[in-house]
Amino acid sequence: MKIFIDTANINDIKSAFELGIIEGVTTNPTIISKEGKKFEDAIKEIAEIVGEDTYIFGEVVSLDAENMIKEAYEIKKLHKNMIIKIPMCKEGIKAVSKLSKDGVKTCVTLCFSAAQAILAANAGATYVAPFLGRVDDIGGNGIHLIQEIMEIFEMQGMDTQIVAASTRHPLHVIELAKAGAHVATVPYKTIMQMFEHPLTTNGLAQFMKDWEKVPKA
């Protein structure tokens, strides 16, 4: 399972990329708004850090297919591996159908049901982004949603990949990997939490302490 980082914060992206384990950056209008920069500037700055082979996801903000498509072509110019996020709605699916026929890579976002994921796949979306944390927030089971979509995509031989979004903690990431999700997009804080285990911390401290006792040349 690939790990993407779900942020537009330059310091977090720099720090995460140094680990060598991050293959993409996902943004949405809320994430962009937190950085206080113009959308184009934020994407260009991210592109400078991650290089041309990394996927960067940028979202359209129009609500009709014609303008979504226009925006998609503008966003696409910002980076070699730009993925265009398009919200789940009738106009969005119309736009994705057209863009996928023209070879533009898309991600249908704000997906909360298997029915929506089927529509995205049939429109030829490269990715679909189910928001598991937000499903959990309203008393649903986000991981069950991912499992259901995976089962359908596999059974039907659908090429659309799942980029599981709205991940909130390391257990989400573990369960996503077990469910076979293609990608988990994860906030910086969660990536850092994934490193933590008290036995690792204590074990390393003990190794350092014991090393002091080893005679040195």
Residues forming the active site: 85
Phi, psi of 186 (to 5 degrees): -130, 135
Residue ranges of E strands in the chain: 2-6, 22-26, 55-59, 82-87, 106-111, 127-130, 161-164, 183-186
Nearest distance, CB of residue 215 and ligand G3P, angstroms: 52
Nearest distance, CB of residue 105 and ligand G3P, angstroms: 16
d(CA 92, CA 83): 14
Nearest distance, CB of residue 184 and ligand G3P, angstroms: 11
- Residues near ligand G3P (CB under 6 A): 6, 26, 28, 131, 133-134, 165-166, 185
Phi, psi of 43 (to 5 degrees): -65, -40
First to last CA, the chain: 45
User: Coil, strand, or helix at residue 112?
Assistant: coil
Nearest distance, CB of residue 38 and ligand G3P, angstroms: 20
Give 4 or 17: the residue with its C-beta nearer to ligand G3P.
4
Q: 133, 168 in Cβ contact below 8 A?
A: yes
Give 61 or 204: the residue with its C-beta nearer to ligand G3P.
61
Q: 54, 26 in Cβ contact below 8 A?
A: no
Residue with tokens 């986000």: 142
